Structure 1
Amino acid sequence: MSDWWKGAVIYQIYPRSFKDTSNNGVGDLPGITQKLEYIASLGVDAIWISPFFKSPMHDFGYDISDYCAVDPLFGNLVDFKELLEKAHSLNIKVIIDQVISHCSIEHPWFSESRKDKTNAKADWFVWADPKEDGSEPNNWLSFFGGSAWTFDESRGQYYFHNFLTNQPDLNFHNPEVQAAQLNNLKFWLDLGVDGFRLDVANFYFHDKDLRDNPIFPEGERSTVGVTDSNPYSRQQHIHSITQAENIAFIEKMRQLMDQYPNTTTMGEINGEHSLDIMAEYTTGDNRMHMAYTFDLLGEDCSKEAIEAVAEEFNLTLKDGWACWALCNHDVKRVVSRWGPSQSHPDFPLAAMALLLSLKGSVCLYQGEELGLPEGDVAFEDIQDPYGKPFWPEYKGRDGCRTPMVWDTSAQYAGFSDAKPWLPVDNTQQLMSVASQEASQTSVLNKTRQLITWRNQQPSLKIGEFTLLDLPGVLAWLRTTEEQQMLVVINLSASAQDVELPFANVAAQNPAGFEFSLEGHSLHLPAYQVLFATVD
């Protein structure tokens, strides 16, 4: 099925924190293989594995020193092939991260490039002379704080890095760089992977003239920056990312993917006007299959904010396809980000219902099916290079990367027999897989029920989306020729009474939600959901 990815549920695995079988405190590929039956039991269509390639781990695998090798920390290529074979035997597709905009400072390409201005790789990275006063070539900033330029003594020039100084950006204006990265993708396609999650897919090209980015007017901030304290949020990133030349490379990538039937690309988009970029990058059948963005990964979970995002997606993407997420390895978990200040046991499933009912594909992040809150990581235990500079306003990404909790009674929650690279959160450990398996009313088992049911509803997988304006609740219709599904979600702490605009409504209850429906009068308690077919 060539469009299996449309409406798919994709389970994201952060391998460092999933399951450790080598007892070094870090998760690995055999650990993923060991837990594939569990993943299959969720009813998901695919897994997305965050980077496991050879890396000095300055940014935990997003700084790659060999694109075609498995880092020994995670295992080896044989381990990956075994993982791939077992996943396919369980009818699970395998999507892997591809971080091709930048690499590690320890990659052989950069080691050669920095030697001088005439070597074979001299133009493979973004080099520039200092200004007359010796300062940086322009005002571009790093996402992780400070200038995006670092001076290299051996070459006598600055090199550009959108992220850490250890992550130099490749020069995609050079056709050799494009060919090399396409060849790296081909290596994994030849092994049998089913697709790629493309890290910062709109960051490949930069402005050749290195023009300064304009500064936002006082009081305005970029949608790209994480916190107001990060200077990155004060610039309009119109020259350092999202350049017009990016489209032609995306089309080259799609030409390669089309040589491998039934594969897919899921591009991460991060930039001003991200929905417009998504629409441009996914339009037609010669660019990315779908795009993944941060529009529901922020703090605002008001009815107005969610409706605005859903409707703007619907109107902007047209023939493009979205991949939705409420959690990932870069943001605070949704239970802590959107949930009530006093934790409510019904919130996680209501949020899951929202995610599974939007038009598009879905990414679930490991532990989301358990309703895990953000992990608590003390300042002295922080590992994330992005965490310490902005503490305490922003504590980094470690809280969403704490080890997966498999067994409440086991040391380190069954993640490892050795001390994990990040501490196991005590609250999370009480919510382990083992503790939830035994209860049919647990978040885990209700999530399974919800996903299984959703996969049988064509309207929820591929149907059109129509936003409904009902007071106090989120509501929309998902429609195909054979089915029309009404979705009403109460994401508030108060019960809501709603008059439905339909005469013939047949309630569905795939996960034991509480509601009272008499005719078209609906009573929906706090954090409850109605699914109903409409004649």
Structure 2
Amino acid sequence: MTTQLASTTEITAAGANEWWRGGVIYQIYPRSFQDSNGDGIGDLAGITDRLPYVASLGVDAIWISPFFTSPMKDFGYDVSDYCDIDPMFGALADFDAMLARAHSLGLRVMIDLVLSHTSDQHPWFAESRNGRDNDKSNWYVWGDAKPDGTPPNNWLSIFGGSAWQWDSRRQQYYLHNFLTSQPDLNFHSPAVQQALLDVARFWLDRGVDGFRLDTINFYTHDAELRDNPAIAPEQRTAKTAPAVNPYNWQEHLYDKSRPENLAFLRRLRAVMKPYGAAAVGEVGDEQLGLEILGQYTAGDDLMNMCYAFELLSGDTPTASFVKDTMDHVARVAADGWACWAFSNHDVVRHPSRWLLTDAATKTFNTLLMCLRGSACIYQGEELGLPEADVPYESLQDPYGIEFWPEFKGRDGCRTPMVWEANSDHVGFTSATPWLPISSSQAVLAVDQQEVRKDSMLNHYRRSIQMRHDSHALLRGAQSEMEATGDLLTFLRTDGAETVFCAFNLGRDATTLSLPEGEWENMAKDIIGATEATSGRVDLPGWGFLVARKRAV
């Protein structure tokens, strides 16, 4: 199997429907990928220009963060028209050209659908807030004030403060789990569900191959608007919101992750199935993330895959943490499918978040390519980019502005992609970029790494190739992991193929014994990989071994 699909004609119908299972998805944040018109902001035409580079990585698909019409209060995650392109990014014709180019390169295209909420400038909300008796009066979540004028309940916004905003026209509060300019849609309304399913059909008819579904467990709220209970201080986590945010002080029983959500997800999957489309859902739940992942991906009538925040966490994953996480997945999501990621547009880039050396970053990437599930990599991750330091006066993210300086927001992971180290604005734009270029990132530009055999970029290419060369790594079963100190070992199996995976997640050398049999190295083309065929093996600090069992 090759690292990328040579042409769509070579894909069987069955393979097309299962391309996502074990696939590698490359996330593109369009504002920061490539500017084609000199306004300092990335756009769809810029993505089209850079798609040959993406295809060269060997990934199966791209996921593009929102490009819909939007006032950009939350940089596209506040949609005012689901079926058009914001002029900042181009027009529908630019999207069609990008889609055609991606398909010609064998890349599938997933788009980021933000269904839980809209912008307050969406025509739906304009009509809904205009009165209590119009056609869309119940399209959003409205609640009466308590007798003392305070909000309907104690629900909190991820972006700080109450999740309720007073609207003087309706004399009611509306729910917003994020910014006050992002009112939540009411999924208890059949008309809302139908409108959103029509949005999905619009893009599927246009030719997209699937969706990344933002905040998938936020769709449905408790119709009775019951208060969330408090959570004990020792049980508070900071997976969904930063530690300084009291959002973490509640057990979110009623504002999200409601069982009623499953019915809508089944309707959405039914819309997708005739197209052979796939969806990956983002599960933002600090207490039940993996359990919800299991619920939402069980069987073949819900979502294809979901990801939680375990490997997007702030603490460097130890061997025991990875084992505990995978054991947990085996208990609660045995019939489901996970999609793993270390970085994305919402978290500090993982080399900085986990304080990794280059060797450690390469080891974690190889581990990602060996885990059961699908994998997402975030633009620039393949270059080993650290988090950019964006000064307060240059911040764009309202989240960072709100919680500065304890939490600096998401701008540091969203700075422009670095293409050419010695070009003006690193080849991203001919103008002043919307976020400053990071000097610590510029030296890691694509043109510098292309010519180095041992570069991070070429490591990612080889590890993705290794994954695609093995049915066991793509879709096979995964044994229970063993964690001994920093050493993590496990097997992947598919039919007659058995792959042994060993990772030293620490600085000190260790020794391991290969399982019985003769083994051949699968990572022999990956610089830094340990080679062994049998017996005891010395594994250096941050060393790894991936080997296939030889047929008898």
**Same fold by TM-score, threshold 0.5 exceeded?**
yes
Q: Distance in 1 between matches of 2:332 and 2:178?
A: 29
Number of aligned residue pairs: 531
**1:28 corresponding residue in structure 2:** 43
Check 1:339–1:224 CA distance in 2 against 1; reply closer, same or farther (3 A cut): closer
Does the 8 Å contact 1:514/1:525 carry over to 2?
Answer: no
Equivalent pair of 1:314/1:465 in contact (CA under 8 Å): no
Q: Identify which of 186, 189, 199 aligns with 1:184.
A: 199
What's 1:366 paired with? 379
Aligned position for 1:326 = 342
- Identity of matched residues, %: 48
2:213 equivalent among 184, 195, 198: 198
Aligned match of 1:497:
511
Query: Equivalent of 2:502, from 483, 488, 496?
Result: 488
Specify the code of the residue in structure 2 equivalent to 1:31: G
Superposition deviation, residue 21 in structure 1: 0.6
CA deviations on 1:54-97 (whole Å, 9 max, x unpaired) are: 00000000000000000000000000000000100011000000
| Alignment equivalent of 2:413, drawn from 374, 378, 400 | 400
What secondary structure, in the 3-state scheme, does the structure 1 residue paired with 2:479 have? strand
CA distance in 2, matches of 1:191, 1:78: 11
> Partners in 2 of 1:225 and 1:270 — Cα distance?
6
Q: The residue matched to 2:521 in structure 1 has which SS?
A: strand
Q: Structure 1 residue 503: deviation in Å?
A: 4.1
Q: Give the AA of the match of 2:381.
A: E
TM-score normalized with structure 2 length: 0.94
* Structure 1: 4+ residue segments shifted above 4 A: none
Amino acid at match of 2:397: D
Displacement of 1:223 in angstroms is 5.3
Aligned residues: CA RMSD: 1.3
Alignment of 1:236-315 (within 5 A): 236-260=251-275, 262-271=276-285, 272-300=287-315, 301-315=317-331
Check conservation: 2:520, 2:532, Cα contact below 8 A: no
Q: After TM superposition, give the deviation of residue 225 of structure 1 in Å.
A: 3.8
2:125 aligned with 1:102: no
Give secondary structure in 1 for the equivalent of 2:526.
Answer: coil
Q: Deviations over 1:297-335 (max 9, x none)?
A: 002212221211122113321121111101100011111
- Secondary structure, aligned partner of 2:110: strand
Q: Distance in 2 between matches of 1:514 and 1:357?
A: 14
What is the CA–CA distance in structure 1 between the aligned matches of 2:525 and 2:330, rounded to whole Å? 26
- For the residue of structure 1 that corresponds to 2:284, the secondary structure is coil
Q: 1:83 pairs with 83, 98, 120, which one?
A: 98
Which residue is 2:432 aligned to? 419
What is residue 353 of structure 2 aligned with on the other side? 337
Range moving further from structure 2, 178-187 or 469-478: 469-478
The offset of 1:198, in angstroms, is 0.6
The offset of 1:518, in angstroms, is: 7.1
What TM-score results when the alignment is normalised by the length of structure 1? 0.97
What is the CA–CA distance in structure 2 between the aligned matches of 1:69 and 1:356, rounded to whole Å?
A: 35
Q: Once the 2 structures are TM-superposed, how far is the Cα of residue 379 of structure 1 from its aligned partner?
A: 1.3
Is 1:210 aligned to 2:203, yes or no?
no
**Conserved in 2, the CA contact under 8 Å of 1:103 and 1:169?**
yes
Q: Is residue 2:457 matched to residue 1:434?
A: no
Segments of 5+ residues of structure 2 without an aligned counterpart are: 1-14
Structure 1 residues without counterparts, runs of 5 or longer: none
1:514 shift after superposition:
4.0
- What code does the residue aligned with 1:264 have? A
1:241-299 deviation per Cα after TM superposition (whole angstroms, max 9, x unaligned): 01111000000001101121x21011111112111111111111111111122110002
Secondary structure of 1:387's partner? helix
Q: Secondary structure at the match of 1:311?
A: helix
Query: In the superposition, relative to structure 1, how do residues 233 and 79 fare at CA in structure 2: closer, same or farther (>3 Å)?
Result: same
Q: How far apart, in 2, do the equivalents of 1:242 and 1:470 lie? A: 32
Q: Secondary structure at 2:377's aligned position in 1?
A: strand
Contact 1:437 1:445 in 2 (8 A): yes
